[in-house]
Amino acid sequence: MPPKTRLGVMTGAIFLAAGFGSGRASAAPPDDACPLLTVAQVGATVETPVSPGAYVTPTFKKTCTWTVSNPTDSGVKFVTLMIEEPGGFDGGKRVPKVKGVEVTPASGIGDDAYFLDVGDNVGLIVKKAGVGFKVAVYGGVPVETKKAMEKALAADVIARL
């Protein structure tokens, strides 16, 4: 597995454990993350071309990754979208106080949303209409820029739900 893919999987696992580790939902989430964002939407948001969305494995389709064609152009390396049952959404809000981990509300997106900052990585966790998802932008971009990009991408996802 390439180093950037390993990093994405490890960081995704942190967000998975923190944001969606418990609970059950009453509505079934979509089964496929890739159709929820287009290459054009992701590329326009991160301001550089990206590859088509790809799955971590061929059979696990709830996480999709778009890789930037030339990361030096924008500093962004890749974008991930993970869909999950919203029942664990509240679990992420209760992440214990740990140095380098911060949960902050995100207004104006979905039914409820928050940013989960882990070091210099941040993910936007959203609950909307019975669906929970996390969108994250990875790379050498300021955290506030990542948050703005994630909010724009989350709005695109919500438009398809």
pLDDT by residue (tens digit) across 115-158? 999 988 999 999 998 889 999 999 999 999 999 999 999 999 99
The amino acid at residue 74 is S
Strand order in the sheet with 76-84: 54-57, 60-67, 76-84, 131-139, 121-128, 112-118, 101-105
| Full set of structural domains in the chain with CATH | 3-160 (3.40.1000)
Specify whether the CB–CB gap between 109 and 158 falls below 8 A.
yes
Residue 128 bridge partners (DSSP): 131
Give the predicted TM-score (pTM) of the model.
Answer: 0.81
